[in-house]
Structure 1
Amino acid sequence: MHPTATDWTAYVDGYCERLAPGLFGEPLNTVSNLGFLIAAVAIWRQARGETGPRLLAVGLALIFAASTAFHMLATRWAGSADSAAIALFVLAYAVVFAHVFLRAPWRWAWLAVPAFAALAVPVVAGASALGVPGGAYAAPLVALFVLAVLTARDGAWPLFVVAGGLFGVSLTFRSVDHTVCGSFPPGTHFLWHLLNATVLYLVSRTAVRRWVRSPEQATAAP
């Protein structure tokens, strides 16, 4: 079913697992969102009371809440909230990365947002032109490997490479969800949730550990 451009409450049947409207129409897609909540709690605890790192934990919690709402309610507004929560986390992480790993002062670290946009526009456009499924997520995928390059002289670069590889696998599971319905009725979207939660936890943990180990970061506030 395709909702109209103005009907935010319209029903969205976008996944293999969902067969009809209802709060429990996507049990695996819903429960697998707990991965984001577990990641949020873990990052919150590792932040040791620091405001900046805890912002990443809040971002993970927002993804959990928005994605859970979308897969339970299956409405257009919930789907938009889901996408918005992911976008906010990506942009927040870009700023935190610039501050923590590139040692940019906060007044300059926010420039990571337009820098990411400058990367995202051609990458997404290219993915769309090539007909790549889930093209909007091509930008975060490329960005993870860019972060690995930026930390080439830093001990953190292997983690960004691993995170990029995992995200590529999770994006594949997201993209093939509808193609496996006949052989695997639940679909593969829940695997996107679990792997994506792992990726976000790994990159968040790396930033938080760097933050709390540095006296300069520990006294800084966003």
Structure 2
Amino acid sequence: MGLLEAFRENLPVYCERGSFQPVNTASSLVFFASAFFSYRLLRRRRVKNRLICILPYVVAGIGFGSVTWHSIPNVLSNLADTVPITFFVFLSYFYMLSRIVRNRVFVWGVLFLIASIEIPFLLEALPSLNGSMRYLAVMVSGVFICVALTKRFPEVFIYVLFIVLLSVVALFFRSMDFMVCKVLPVGTHFLWHVFGSVIIYLIILLLVKVEETRIKTSGFSASI
């Protein structure tokens, strides 16, 4: 079996089936709201950091990919769904790690390690619980990064706490989707979208707070 066939055979399945999933598609629109409010946040707080300023556009890409995937489910639309999410995660982690340590080799090494953990789940080489396991792997690594971040920036602890708690709830609903079809025909995947959009906004808010604190304490403006 080729790589394309393997992807096709292992595409995630939801309670909503078929070539169009109305509830999952409609709930994907919340990512555009998250992108809008994130963009407005950056404008209001006059954020200059280029990496952070890219993120609202990446979030809009997440919304586009999610709408496409749940409207026309196939291999290409699944990639359109997963690639922007992965891009957002790695940009966010890169920023956090860069604020924790100054050694770029270490930063890239950690990101490579996270990618090496995620790829087997992405390629379905390991059991993925309908795609949820790779998000769990990313979340666990994110918790360690965020804990280290709070050591350097204690002001962001409350943001980290809410992000972690909401991530657990979101992943629960994503994992439960295919198990509740008989009770709830539309499933619970749409709640993954709703909670996910809030989490994304909070992550951007967290990065903004870190950037503001860093500039305030160091007196330098930021580029990346």
**Do residues 53 (structure 1) and 52 (structure 2) align?**
yes
Show the 5 A alignment for 1:11-30: 14-18=13-17, 20-21=18-19, 25-30=20-25
Alignment-derived partner of residue 137 in structure 2: 139
Q: Label 1:218 to 1:86 Cα distance change in 2 as closer, same or farther (>3 A).
A: farther
Alignment-derived partner of residue 165 in structure 1: 165
Q: For residue 160 of structure 1, report the CA deviation from its aligned partner.
A: 1.5
Misfit runs of 4+, over 6 Å: 10-13, 123-126
Q: For residue 170 of structure 1, report the CA deviation from its aligned partner.
A: 0.8
Secondary structure at the residue paired with 2:179? helix
- Root-mean-square deviation (CA), in Å? 3.3
In the superposition, the TM-score normalised over structure 1's length comes to 0.80
Show the 5 A alignment for 1:69-218: 69-99=68-98, 101-102=99-100, 104=102, 108-109=103-104, 111-119=106-114, 121=116, 133=129, 134-153=132-151, 154-212=154-212, 214=215
Q: Label 1:168 to 1:120 Cα distance change in 2 as closer, same or farther (>3 A).
A: farther
Q: Label 1:131 to 1:165 Cα distance change in 2 as closer, same or farther (>3 A).
A: farther
In the superposition, the TM-score normalised over structure 2's length comes to 0.79
Secondary structure at the residue paired with 1:56? helix
C-alpha separation between the residues in 2 aligned to 1:110 and 1:28? 43
Specify which structure has the bigger relative contact order, considering alpha-carbon pairs within 8 angstroms and separated by 6 or more residues.
Answer: 2
Q: For residue 70 of structure 1, report the CA deviation from its aligned partner.
A: 0.5
Q: For residue 114 of structure 1, report the CA deviation from its aligned partner.
A: 3.2
Unpaired runs of 5+ residues, structure 2, are: none
C-alpha separation between the residues in 2 aligned to 1:132 and 1:185? 22
Q: Label 1:119 to 1:75 Cα distance change in 2 as closer, same or farther (>3 A).
A: closer
Q: Please state which structure has a larger fraction of its residues in helix.
A: 2
Do the aligned residues in 2 keep the contact of 1:177 with 1:187 (CA within 8 Å)? yes
Q: Label 1:168 to 1:130 Cα distance change in 2 as closer, same or farther (>3 A).
A: farther
Secondary structure at the residue paired with 2:155? coil
C-alpha separation between the residues in 2 aligned to 1:125 and 1:65? 25
